[in-house]
A and B are shown apart, each in its own frame.
Chain A
Amino acid sequence: MDSEKHDIVVTVNGMRYLRQAEARMLLSDFIRHELLLAGTHVGCEHGVCGACTILFDGHPVRACLMLAPQANGHEITTVEGLAPSPDQLHPLQQAMHDKHGLQCGYCTPGILMTMTAFLAEHPVPDEAQVREALSGNLCRCTGYQHIVDAVLEAAEKMRDVK
């Protein structure tokens, strides 16, 4: 196995990092254990559960399906970078709280990243669209209903702001 380390320069949540990693290191492991941004969770490491979803150059991707060196020169947003300030939540985070959209919270970071990207593209979604967009993220606790409610409410609140 090639254990040679590669330089990786990556911007995460607006902060630039320089690290080294083996070619085989998963991007999810890199973010969690090298950058110590443990908010990005790992549920399957085979691309199904969506828990590891991050924004990669603004697009939602599954960090477990990428290798760390592939992030070299790119920009990433994780759940830690979602809230505009320490005492203010992103409207979707707030709506998830208000609607009880999380229980154990393990799936939550991935859902937040997937659905904030979705809301940016679909400011006026209906329930069917929300469910479709959410269907790539598994949640074992909530039965999804309160998450759907939260996304719909966040959409409304975000429209009001504009």
Chain B
Amino acid sequence: MTTRYFGAPIKRNEDKRLLTGQALFVDDVELPGMLHAAFLRSQNAHGRIKSIDVSTARARKGVVAVYTATDLGYYWQPGPLLVPPPPIAGIVFNQRTQVPLAKDKVRHVGEPIAIVIAESRYIAEDALADIMIDMEPLPAVVDLEKALAAGSATVHDDLRSNVAAHVRQTKGNYAQAAAKAHCIIKRRFLYDHGMSSPMETRGVVAQWDARAGQLTVWDTTQAPVFVRNGLAGMLSLSERQVRVIAPFVGGGFGPKIMMFYPEEVLLPWAAIKLNRPVKWIEDRLEHFFATTHERSQIHDAEIALSSDGRIVGVKDVFLHDTGAYDPYGLTVPINSQCTLLGPYVVPHYDSIFTAVFTNLPIVTPYRGAGRQHGVFVIERLLDFAARELGLDRAEIRRRNLIPPDAFPYNNEIIYQDFAPLSYDSGNYEPVLDKALALIGYKDFIASEQPKLRAQGRHVGVAIACYVEGTGIGPYEGAKVQVQANGKVSVATGIGTQGQGHFTVFAQIAADQVGVDVRNVDVVTGDTDQFYWGAGTFASRGAVVAGNAVNEASKVVRQKILKLAAEHFECAEDDLEIANGEVSIVGVPGQFIRLGELAMRANPMRGAVKPGTEPGLESTQYFGPPSGATANGVHAMIVEVDPDTLMLQVLKYVVVHDCGTVINPLILAGQIHGGVAQGIGNAFYEKLVFDDEGQLLNASLTDYLLPTSLDVPRMELAHTVTPSPLNPMGIKGAGEAGAIPVGPLFAQAIEDALGLAAQNVELCEIPLSPNRLWELVGKAHSKS
């Protein structure tokens, strides 16, 4: 096999359709007789529904149906628990999942109460105003600490408190070790992650074909197979009667995998009931409440150190906001708990968290999925430790890095995939060195910074390290098939939201099967094309589905060689496959096209011999034993305007190790996009709730997504430590860019403004000019 494509910066197969307006997104689906849905959503964060009157709405011209919870009968069920709690001793987990329509109580602003279905979306929205609702407002649970205080209102009446979960994980014996440590540094941290805000909001179109007994659902989901299975179960259909298509999806970043969203449950049901297709497209305002967030944690953390700056241990007690329901289990806080350990040797660890129900929208993973919170804590603790011990910030990190001969490195606690947190491979110091060299760390501190400071400029440098558990199980599959026209088709069950799967899977198959990469057609996210799978999350698409494509392609390659050898009556070793043809090495002109072989593999006469199958195709599955751990270092030089506290990034460097790289162009794009979201989280994006649980900035005018003026040019470099956990040696890369940006900003701003000298520490994210003003304004006016 020649690797012409694997590892090369191949341009994307999917681009042309997207560039010419021909790609199908959910809202592009137009069906004859299609109806449109709109939702009446709660305006209260917490309240008891006393009565709902939909009679006027039902009577409005153009309205076809209006349903409330009681109209759903037995179909009204709380959603499934997506991820059960991991097997950790002593764990407390209170499962309370979201419902299709609020019945007697509403638990967050935006929770759906009624669905209107009408001839147009305009009419459906008109009818929302006709619905009369009598709501008794209840005190809203918003603040994490107050939520746990005695006497707090409870989000779920059948629970005595707002505790959603309580988990303790330990490694070694922190208390004992800390007693002998040289020093202990203790701080409180607040980390708030916003919302993923894909440019395409969510949407669902459902169509019931009564004659065929077939339900088709177009859904902006990241996990079409699970949606198919779940819908079949809820609707008492067999899986074969349900087809879920996640066509082109305009960005996901996590929240598009949540299920079941109420709209995903209700549209198929209504389409069957009305026997007409129904479409619902979330508008941007709805998106702010109806799609999941990630939000905040409060950490009380301490680090124990030896006199030479080595970590003796870390203790962390934190609160995690899970929102009104917890359908995604503990993935986010477990990620925080695990990822805090980072690339460092932490011999003793004691971590306790309490997940808290609040009257706020549901929290599920968003790019980084809680990793940011943990990374912020450890990176900030190391900064403060360096200061305390008089060490350089890069040096204290270097001293604590896990050495290359310590892999696989077992951190003992349980990770989100339920396996012990074990790092498969890594070589961390060169990554740090490279980042320091690229940012010009030494030189900046020694000469550049003093020089600029002398000119009155406020410049600072920062460096932050992280690891990322990627590519977790359970498994994915792929079907690879040579078509009669010589093209190769690849189908997998994952959904795709811009990660370039149409290209990276094509690269893998093209090399094995010997065709031009443009002649590989990849289908993702259509359950009729591929039956099995889990979904796109946890930076796993390329790793898990990619390896399945590789395995299936290898089998197809063997089938091609076997059939061609029979055809030429020669040994398989004498054959080579290239450019869509199989030829005999050294015999020019002796070749057969793959398409012709594919036809011969499905003969009209003559039997398919026992032990063989028709066609040149194979379906294979790949399930990694555990996740592959990627790592990286970001470094940045920033300038802060001391008057406005606006900042400008002067230089941004990412050095990253995600094992073997399939496509450096696509990888760069993933990292750029991740960093941009990290920057948004660090400095621009904040969901502002009042104590009534009302979101005060629910528009793109007020919730600030970074623009091309806010995201700097980035310089990327890579090291490669292949993963031993899969034959291609790859690790995931989807989330890495976003993870360490928070601590990087805090550190750089502190350095730029010389805040250490003023005893100001930045222990929270997001920052913003306003927030900085509050935190440092006073100190600054003194200086």
Distance, CA A93 to CA B122, complexed state (A) = 34
A-chain residues with CB within 8 Å of residue B709 when the two chains form the complex: 131-132, 135
Write out the residue numbers on chain A whose beta carbons fall within 8 Å of the beta carbon of B198: 104, 106, 140
Question: Are A44 and B700 in contact, with the CB atoms below 8 A?
Answer: yes
A43 CB contact (under 8 Å) in B19, B199, B249, B677: B199
Q: Tell me the residues in window 114-152 of chain A with beta carbons closer than 8 Å to chain B beta carbons.
A: 127, 130-132, 134-148
Residues of A with C-beta under 8 A to B25: 38, 41, 106
Q: Would you give the shortest CB distance from A104 to chain B, in whole angstroms?
A: 3
How far is it, in angstroms, between the C-alpha of A103 and the C-alpha of B671 when the chains are bound? Answer: 12
- Cα–Cα distance between A151 and B11 once the two chains are bound (Å): 17
Instruction: Judge whether B250 is part of the interface by a CB distance below 8 angstroms.
Output: yes
Contacts of A103 in B (CB 8 A): 251, 498-500, 669-670, 673
Q: Which residues from B are CB-within-8-Å of A137?
A: 708
* Pairwise interchain contact B11-A97, C-beta atoms closer than 8 A: yes
Q: Mark B173-206, 1 if CB is under 8 A from A, else 0.
A: 0000000000000000000000011111100000
> In the complex the two chains form, is A24's CB within 8 Å of B672's CB?
no
Complex: how many Å from CA A142 to CA B500?
A: 12
Interface residues of A in 19-60 (CB under 8 A from B): 22, 24-25, 32-33, 36-46, 48-49, 51
Q: Which residues of chain B have C-beta atoms less than 8 A from A1's C-beta?
A: 122, 126
When distances are taken between beta carbons in the complex, the residues of chain A under 8 Å from B16 are 89, 97
Chain B residues bordering chain A, tally (CB within 8 A) = 58
> What residues of chain B lie closer than 8 Å to A145, measured between beta carbons?
672, 711, 713-714
Q: In chain A, residues 72-107, which have Cβ atoms closer than 8 Å to a Cβ of chain B?
A: 78-80, 82-83, 89, 93, 96-98, 100, 102-107
**Which residues of B have CB within 8 Å of A134?**
707-708
Nearest A residue to B248 via CB reads: A105
Are B250's CB and A102's CB within 8 A? no
- Is there contact, CB below 8 Å, between A104 and B701? no
Measured in the bound complex, the distance between the Cα atoms of B28 and A37 in whole Å is 9
**Residues 240-253 of chain B: 1 if any A CB is under 8 Å from the residue's CB, otherwise 0?**
00000000111101
User: Of A38, A96, A131, which one neighbours B19 at CB under 8 angstroms?
Assistant: A96
Residues on the A chain within 8 Å of B200, using CB: 41, 43, 104, 106
CA gap between A112 and B497 in the complex, in Å: 20
With an 8 A cutoff between CB atoms, is A109 at the interface? yes
B251 and A39 contact, CB distance less than 8 A: no
Q: Which of B24, B196, B199, B671 contacts A106 (CB 8 A)?
A: B199
Decide: A36 and B30 in contact? CB cutoff 8 A: yes
Q: How far is the CA of A55 from the CA of B700 in the complex (A)?
A: 23
Q: Say whether B345 faces chain A, with CB atoms less than 8 Å apart.
A: no
Contact check, B21 vs A143: say whether CB atoms are below 8 A apart.
Answer: no
Given contacts A25-B122, A103-B498, contact A141 B669 (CB under 8 A): yes
CB distance from A55 to the nearest CB of B (A): 13
B369 to chain A, nearest CB (A): 17
A52 to chain B, nearest CB (A): 11
Q: Are B20 and A89 in contact (CB under 8 A)?
A: yes
Residue-wise, chain B 650-670 has the 8 Å CB interface mask toward A (1 for contact) of 000000000000000110111
Cβ contacts under 8 Å, B19 to chain A: 79, 89, 93, 96-97, 102, 105, 108, 112
Q: With contacts A112-B19, A131-B708, A145-B713 known, is A138 near B669, CB below 8 A?
A: no
Nearest-neighbour CB distance to chain A for B741, whole angstroms, equals 11
Return the chain A residue nearest B705 by Cβ: A138
The distance in angstroms between the C-alpha atoms of A39 and B15, with both chains bound, is: 13
B708 in contact with A102 (CB, 8 Å): no
Q: Is B236 an interface residue (CB 8 A)?
A: no
What is the chain A residue whose CB lies nearest that of B36? A33
Question: Which residues of chain B in 478-513 are interfacial with respect to chain A, using CB atoms and an 8 Å cutoff?
Answer: 497-500
Contacts of B699 in A (CB 8 A): 44, 46, 48
Question: From A82, which residue of chain B is reached at the shortest CB distance?
Answer: B20
* Shortest CB distance A3–B (Å): 8
Q: Given A43-B199, A103-B500 in contact, is the A140-B21 Cβ separation under 8 Å?
A: no
Chain B residues near A43 (CB, 8 Å)? 199-201, 250, 284, 700
B-chain residues with CB within 8 Å of residue A102 when the two chains form the complex: 15, 18-19, 498
Contact B700 A49 (CB under 8 A): yes
Is A143 within 8 A of B672, CB to CB? yes
Least Cβ distance of B714 to chain A in Å? 6
Residue of B nearest to A96 (CB): B19
Instruction: Quote the shortest CB–CB distance from A22 to chain B (angstroms).
Output: 7
B448 interfacial contact with A, CB 8 Å: no
Do the beta carbons of A100 and B20 come within 8 Å of each other? no
From B22, B24, B497, B675, give the contact of A104 (CB < 8 A).
B497
CA distance A32 to B28 in the complex (A): 8
- When chains A and B are docked, how far (Å) is the Cα of A71 from the Cα of B709? 32
B423 to chain A, nearest CB (A): 27
Most chain B CB inside 10 Å of its own CB: which residue of A42, A51, A112: A42
In the complex formed, the residue of B with least CB distance to A43 is B199
User: Which B residues touch A109, using CB under 8 A?
Assistant: 21
Contact between B707 and A105, CB atoms less than 8 A apart? no
Q: In this complex, what residue of B is CB-closest to A134?
A: B708
- Bound-state CA distance A43–B498 (Å) is 16
* B12 contacts the other chain (CB 8 A): yes
Are B15 and A97 neighbours in the complex by a CB distance under 8 Å? yes
By a CB distance below 8 angstroms, the chain A residues around B27 are: 32, 38, 42
Complex A-B: 17 CB contacts under 8 Å: A1-B126, A38-B24, A38-B27, A43-B250, A46-B700, A46-B701, A89-B19, A103-B499, A104-B199, A104-B250, A105-B248, A106-B498, A127-B713, A136-B707, A142-B669, A144-B708, A146-B669
**Additional 11 contacts, C-beta under 8 A, given A41-B200, A143-B673:** A24-B122, A38-B25, A38-B28, A39-B20, A43-B201, A96-B19, A102-B15, A103-B670, A104-B251, A105-B19, A109-B21
Which residues in B have some Cβ–Cβ distance to A below 8 Å?
11-12, 14-16, 18-25, 27-28, 30, 122, 126, 196-201, 248-251, 253, 283-284, 497-500, 665-666, 668-677, 699-701, 705, 707-709, 711, 713-714, 737
Lowest 8 CB-CB distances: which A-B pairs, in order? A39-B21, A106-B250, A104-B498, A105-B18, A143-B672, A103-B498, A143-B676, A38-B28
